[in-house]
Amino acid sequence: MTEMPQIEEVEHKLTQYSPDADVGLLRRAYEVATSAHAGQTRKSGEPYIYHSLAVSDILADLHLDATTLAAALLHDVPEDTSVTLEDLRAQFGDEVTRLVDGLTKLERIQRLSGTRKRPLAEAQAENVRKIVLATVDDIRVIMIKLADRLHNMRTLNFLPPDKQKRIAQETLDIYAPLASRLGIWELKWQLEDLTLQHLQPEVYRNISGLLAEKRPDREDYINHVIDIIRQRLEEEGFDGEVTGRPKHIYSIYRKMADKNHSFEEIYDLRGVRILLHEVRDCYAVLGIIHSVWRPIAGEFDDYVAMPKDNLYQSLHTAVIGPEGRPLEIQIRTWEMHRVAEYGIAAHWRYKEHTKRDLSLEARIDWLRQVSEWRQEVGDASEFVDSLKSDVFPERVYVFTPKGDIISLPQGATPVDFAYYIHTEIGHRCRGAKVNGHLVPLDYQLHTGEQVEILSAKRGGPSRDWLNPQLGYLKTARARQKARQWFRQQERGENAAQGREILEKELRRLGLEKSFDEIAKLFKYQNGELFLAAIGYGDIAPQQIAAKLAETAIQPSFFPEAVLPPPSVVGVQVRGVGDLLTRLARCCNPVPGEPIIGYITRGKGVTVHRRDCPNVKNLSDTERLIDVDWGAVREAYPVSIRIEAFDRAGLLRDIATVVADEGIRMSAVQASVHEDNTAIVTATMEISGVQQLRSVLSKLEGIHDVLEVRRERS
């Protein structure tokens, strides 16, 4: 157990970086928190006040102000004690109370109001949304929450294993990415390493063991490199500090996983950082480094000229160092280093009458955009999903025709770009140019490209944009804007569009189910409302396929005609040894459906669906026998019909799409009609409805293809 800080230590740290700070405020907060938490202990057995002190101490290391440290000491008081927010307001004023209120968990609010407690996942999502939206008003809220989460992660081993994994996963999904977007490296790497320790303990132990085993050799090597660089800097007249750069376990794990490399193949295990006073010195020293050691092609990044979205700046290069070993070198100014380590905390100013910090405002611009979701996204889970898809992923940086830089999530398309510029431009987007060349609207943008949107004078989005399989929209915010446009249309028009979409989807998949039956799977008692929801994009076609696939009434989509006769692998007769079985042609049962067997004369057992009309009308019911699905086949032959304009390369394009989907095509037949249309019928090994729908959507996207659907037997 680590030694807990004392309030005197926190006060000392505060006065070191802020001599005029209100230490009295900090002391009063400590006394109130100590009194309120008296008698309370954590799972570790420690007095509860130790947690509050640890959170305040973490923030003191980031040089936060006295108000924030006081709020950190009080952050759990309204949640876990009888002291209310009004009590805190009377003693500490509005500013401290507002910060504490932004951190009050939803569950506490529900207990006070007497409402029914929500399911765990929903409550967690509401908690995240509340904290993020409070952060928009005061960035210090998330600073306290990140410090709180870090100390909770440090003491996670005192909780049951299932809670450890749940909290660690939430930390990896939400809080570590938040620290990254705010540029707080000091918190980010600790959160990530701790999550790996609990989510994949064996991987964590292996990497930490390898690091410890190689440490003496690595340190000797780095010291040798540092001596060489220092000597060259002195010869060239540069005043800089050269240090070894620590490599953290989670970042090693991610590089090993992303690049499929072994531990020995990670080139930046050996890293050096050079700190200088001026930006121009950084580029000059980069030239010196490249004159000493040969740079590795494709491993140079200029984050000085093109800062990351969290305003991180540094030059990164990889070279072949002494003894032919790969070596990573980072070059930055002292100011860049301060921002890289402490992120937004390095920019924060709390004194009155200070000038605007434009760098700070740029850093939290994405939070301003998040605030716009208050009205657009009502569901907490959808809000959290939006954070994960729009805010946390790696970014690409593209230019407008005027040269402005736009930051988007990796994988974003021209349509995402159009909606980022303006909602109306998104609605009326009809084409795009990248670096002056026309590109399809599902093109994935790359850093450094210039994007120009070609828009119509009027009109709205295409419904295809809401189909994730087609890849037109990456960002949740753009999808929400498109859905809103369709919602604003008349319900009758939406219902008609929804009916057309649903009929087309069922026809493509070869499924036969009533609209009302499918509507009930989505908890819609009114079929018209269900069709309208499809029409304006709240329910996508692939969701229908997924819902059908996961229910017991999954429709038959594997035609009996192509199943291997006469025996069906996987059907077992209860209480009887191996018997000859075959699927009934009348109802075509598939794995997952309720089934029953019928004992025939001389042909073994025929397997029917339990709701088969032939079974229901049977007179000699004594010949019925219980059967079960046994081992399920991994893939089933499905016949798919493709109609297209005949042209050279059509079959090649079809085969390429099928191969890219990882599907085996066992037979192909093609014919050309007098009107120059080609009919291609292909038998493919399909694992389920979702894979079937995916390949149908991809085939529809082939140039000159008119229609794609599954053939019925």
Pairing of strands 315-320, 301-302: antiparallel
Neighbours of 82 (CB within 10 A): 8
Residue 318 and residue 267 in contact, taking contact as beta carbons nearer than 8 Å: yes
Q: Is the pLDDT of residue 446 over 90?
A: no
Residue-wise pLDDT for 286-345, tens only, equals 999 999 999 988 788 888 887 776 678 899 998 888 888 888 899 999 988 887 777 666
What is the DSSP-derived secondary structure letter of residue 41? B
For a pLDDT cut of 70, what percent of the chain falls above it?
A: 78
Q: Name, of 91-105, 441-455, 488-502, the range with top average pLDDT.
A: 441-455
Q: Which residues participate in catalysis according to the annotation? A: 79-80
**Residue scoring higher pLDDT (248 or 356):** 248
Residue-wise pLDDT for 176-233, tens only, equals 888 887 778 888 889 999 999 998 888 888 888 887 767 788 888 889 999 999 999 9
Crossing angle of helices 476-487 and 414-421, in 10° steps, is 70
- Say how many Å lie between the first and final Cα of the chain, rounded: 68
Buried b (16+ CB within 10 A) or exposed e, 155-178: bbeebeeeebebbbebbbebbbbb
Residue-wise pLDDT for 370-407, tens only, equals 555 444 545 545 555 555 554 555 677 788 888 777 87
Please name the residue that has the structure tokens 């907490």. Answer: 380
For a pLDDT cut of 90, what percent of the chain falls above it?
A: 19
| The pTM of the whole model exceeds 0.85 | no
Residue type, 513: K
Q: 44-53, 244-253, 260-269, 558-567: lowest mean pLDDT where?
A: 558-567
- In sequence order, what are the residues at sequence separation of 6 or more whose Cβ sits closer than 8 angstroms to the Cβ of residue 351? none
Residue-wise pLDDT for 408-439, tens only, equals 887 889 999 999 888 889 999 999 999 889 99
As given in the structure block, the two tokens for residue 295 are 């740079």
In angstroms, how far apart are the furthest CA atoms of the chain?
102
**Distance between CA atoms of 214 and 226, rounded to whole angstroms?**
18
The pLDDT, as a whole number, for residue 195 is 92
As given in the structure block, the two tokens for residue 370 are 């998040």
Residue-wise pLDDT for 77-89, tens only, equals 988 888 888 899 9
DSSP structure string for 562-606: GS-SS--TTEEETTS----EEE-TTT---TTS-EEEEE-SSS-EE
The pLDDT, as a whole number, for residue 287 is 92
As given in the structure block, the two tokens for residue 304 are 């000085």
Q: 106-115, 594-603, 620-629: lowest mean pLDDT where?
A: 106-115
**Residue scoring higher pLDDT (92 or 500):** 92
Domains of the chain: 7-182 (1.10.3210.10), 202-343 (3.30.460.10), 393-486 (3.10.20.30), 489-550 (no CATH), 570-629 (no CATH), 636-710 (3.30.70.260)
Number of alpha carbons in the 13 Å side-chain half-sphere of residue 312: 21
The pLDDT, as a whole number, for residue 568 is 43
> Once rounded to an integer, what is the mean pLDDT over residues 43-62?
89
Dihedral sign from CA coordinates of 37, 41, 42, 48: positive
Helix segments in 293-379, DSSP class H: 334-342, 358-363, 365-371, 373-376
The pLDDT, as a whole number, for residue 119 is 45
Residue 547 and residue 530 in contact, taking contact as beta carbons nearer than 8 Å: no
